[in-house]
C-alpha cells in the first residue's frame, strides 16, 4: 500500500503521523511511504532520517495526497486538506467529529474512508489509541494550569505546591478516567490539595486504592461539584463520552461560586468541552477570561510536547495501521471489531452512532458488518 504522511498544519501542531521508526515498519512489510518535506522536524526527525530508512520525500502536501492510498496524520484534516481527499483514500487520524459539523460534511462529500483513532476500542472496553494522548493531556493540564495561575498570566498568583507555612493550591479534577487520573497524579506529585469527582463507583474504588488518602475521592453530584468549585484554584475538566460531544458539567452560573483568578483547563475541548463557557483556543493565545475565571482550552495540548506525544501515539497506532496496510481496510475491519469501531465515515455515510446522534445526522442504514461483506 502507498502510505502518505503530510506535515501537520494546525496552529502549533508539531507532531507527525509516523516516526522514522514506524515508517520503517511499513517499508519492511513491502509498503511505500511518502513523507512531506519537513513533516518530522517538530519531533527532531529530518528528511534525511526518513530517507535513511527507505521513505520518499514529497515537496508538497498535494503530492502526498495525490500519490498515496492511506493518509496517516495526527490531527483532524483542516479545510485545505479535506479538499484533497477522494473516494480512493483511507484517512487514519484523530477526527473528533461530534462537535465539528463542517469537517463531517466535507468528509462525507469526499467519499473517503475515515478511521478515527479516538473511537477504536479494545477488549476491555478502553480506547487504546486515545489513551496515550489522554495521558499526555492529563499531565500537561496541571503543568499548563499551574502556569496560568501565575499573576502575570491573569491567575490568582497561587503556587500549587505552596511552601512551608502557606496553604498549597487546591486542584479539582472532574472525571477519574485516563485524563483525570494522570492530572491527579501530577497534582499530587506537586503537593497540591487534590479532589477527584466521578460517578462510577468502580472508578472511585480504584482511585482510592491508588492514592491512599493523598487525594479526596468524591462521588459527583451537583452539590459536591458546586462545593468543590468554590474551593478550587485549578479545575481540570476530564470528562469523555466516546465519540460524542462532551456534557456541559460546569455552567456559566457556577463560575460565580469560584474564586476570582481561578483557572479552568478543559481537556475535553476536542469533543466540544465540558464547561459551558469553553471555546477552543490555540497555543498562540491559549487563555481567555470569563467572569474573572481564566479558561485554558487548547484543542491540541499534546502538540506542545511533540516528541513525547508522537512516540507515545505511534506506539498505539502502529499495529492497527500495519493491519490496514497489510490486509486492506475492509479485511482488517472485518477481522477486528475493535478496529471497526474506529470507522466514522465511509462511502459518504456516517458509521459511528455517537457522531450521528451528536450531529443529528443519518447513520449508515445497514449494519456495518453487512456493509463490509
End-of-domain residue from the set 245, 274, 299:
299
pLDDT of 373 higher than 80 = no
Number of folded domains that form the chain: 2
| Tens-place pLDDT, residues 346-356 | 999 999 999 99
pTM of the model: 0.91
pLDDT of 193 higher than 90 = yes
All three cell numbers of 118, joined, read 479516538
End-of-domain residue from the set 276, 299, 322:
299
125 within a domain of the structure (yes/no): no
Q: What is the CATH number of the domain that holds 237?
A: 3.40.50.720
Look at residue 18 in the predicted model and tell me its pLDDT. Answer: 98
- Alpha-carbon distance 178 to 74, whole Å? 19
pLDDT of 369 higher than 90 = no
Q: CA 137 → CA 96, 237, 258, 299, distances in Å?
A: 15, 11, 24, 10
Look at residue 269 in the predicted model and tell me its pLDDT. Answer: 95
Q: Are residues 12 and 111 in the same domain?
A: yes
Centroid of chain to Cα 308: 14
Q: Are residues 71 and 147 in the same domain?
A: no
Q: Of residues 246 and 116, which shows the higher confidence score?
A: 116
Q: Are residues 38 and 187 in the same domain?
A: no
**Which residues does the annotation mark as catalytic?**
96, 270
Q: Cell 466540544 appears where?
A: 272
pLDDT of 242 higher than 90 = no
End-of-domain residue from the set 299, 332, 355:
299
Q: What is the mean pLDDT of the chain?
A: 96
All three cell numbers of 178, joined, read 485516563
H helices, E strands: number in the chain? 14, 15
Q: Are residues 135 and 264 in the same domain?
A: yes
Q: Band of the pLDDT at 175, cuts 50, 70, 90?
A: very high
| Tens-place pLDDT, residues 135-164 | 999 999 999 999 999 999 999 999 999 999
All three cell numbers of 123, joined, read 477488549
- Which residues have a Cβ under 8 Å from the Cβ of 365 and sit 6 or more positions away? 349
- Quick check: 317 and 117 in contact, CB under 8 A? yes
- Alpha-carbon distance 326 to 323, whole Å? 5
202 within a domain of the structure (yes/no): yes
- Alpha-carbon distance 102 to 181, whole Å? 33
Domain that residue 27 falls in: 2-116+306-372
* Nearest Cα to Cα of residue 7 among 52, 64, 70, 55: 64
Sheet hosting strand 349-350, strand order edge to edge: 56-58, 32-36, 2-5, 70-72, 90-93, 113-116, 343-346, 349-350
Amino acid at each position: 500500500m502507498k502510505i502518505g504522511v503530510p506535515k501537520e498544519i494546525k496552529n502549533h501542531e508539531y507532531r507527525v503521523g509516523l516516526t522514522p521508526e514506524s515508517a520503517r515498519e511499513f517499508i519492511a512489510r513491502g509498503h511505500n511511504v511518502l513523507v512531506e518535506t519537513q513533516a518530522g522536524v517538530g519531533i527532531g526527525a529530518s528528511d534525511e532520517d526518513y530517507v535513511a530508512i527507505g521513505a520518499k520525500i514529497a515537496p508538497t502536501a498535494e503530492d502526498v495526497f495525490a500519490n498515496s492510498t492511506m493518509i496517516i496524520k495526527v490531527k483532524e484534516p483542516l479545510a485545505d486538506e479535506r479538499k484533497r481527499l477522494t473516494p480512493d483514500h483511507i484517512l487514519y487520524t484523530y477526527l473528533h467529529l461530534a462537535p465539528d459539523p463542517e469537517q463531517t460534511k466535507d468528509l462525507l462529500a469526499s467519499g473517503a474512508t475515515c478511521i478515527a483513532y479516538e473511537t477504536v476500542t479494545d477488549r476491555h472496553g478502553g480506547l487504546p489509541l486515545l489513551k496515550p494522548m489522554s495521558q499526555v493531556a492529563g499531565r500537561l493540564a496541571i503543568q499548563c494550569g499551574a502556569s496560568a495561575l501565575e499573576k502575570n498570566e491573569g491567575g490568582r498568583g497561587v503556587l500549587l505546591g505552596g511552601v512551608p507555612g502557606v496553604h498549597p493550591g487546591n486542584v479539582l479534577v472532574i472525571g477519574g478516567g485516563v485524563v483525570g487520573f494522570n492530572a491527579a497524579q501530577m497534582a499530587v506529585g506537586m503537593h497540591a490539595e487534590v479532589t477527584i469527582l466521578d460517578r462510577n463507583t468502580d472508578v472511585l474504588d480504584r482511585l482510592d486504592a491508588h492514592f491512599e488518602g493523598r487525594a479526596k475521592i468524591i462521588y459527583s453530584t451537583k452539590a459536591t461539584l458546586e462545593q468543590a468549585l468554590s474551593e478550587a484554584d485549578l479545575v481540570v475538566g476530564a470528562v469523555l463520552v466516546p465519540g460524542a460531544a462532551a456534557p456541559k458539567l460546569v455552567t456559566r452560573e457556577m463560575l460565580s461560586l469560584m474564586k476570582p483568578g481561578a483557572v479552568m483547563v478543559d481537556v475535553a475541548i476536542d469533543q466540544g468541552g465540558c464547561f459551558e463557557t469553553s471555546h477552543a483556543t490555540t497555543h498562540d493565545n491559549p487563555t481567555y477570561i470569563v467572569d474573572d475565571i481564566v479558561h485554558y482550552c487548547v484543542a491540541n495540548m499534546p502538540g506542545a510536547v511533540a516528541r513525547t506525544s508522537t512516540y507515545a501515539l505511534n506506539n498505539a497506532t502502529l499495529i492497527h495501521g500495519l493491519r490496514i496496510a497489510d490486509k486492506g481496510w475492509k479485511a482488517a475491519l472485518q477481522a477486528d471489531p475493535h478496529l471497526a469501531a474506529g470507522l466514522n465515515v465511509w462511502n459518504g455515510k456516517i458509521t459511528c452512532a455517537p457522531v450521528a446522534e451528536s450531529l443529528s445526522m443519518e447513520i449508515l442504514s445497514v449494519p456495518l458488518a453487512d456493509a463490509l461483506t
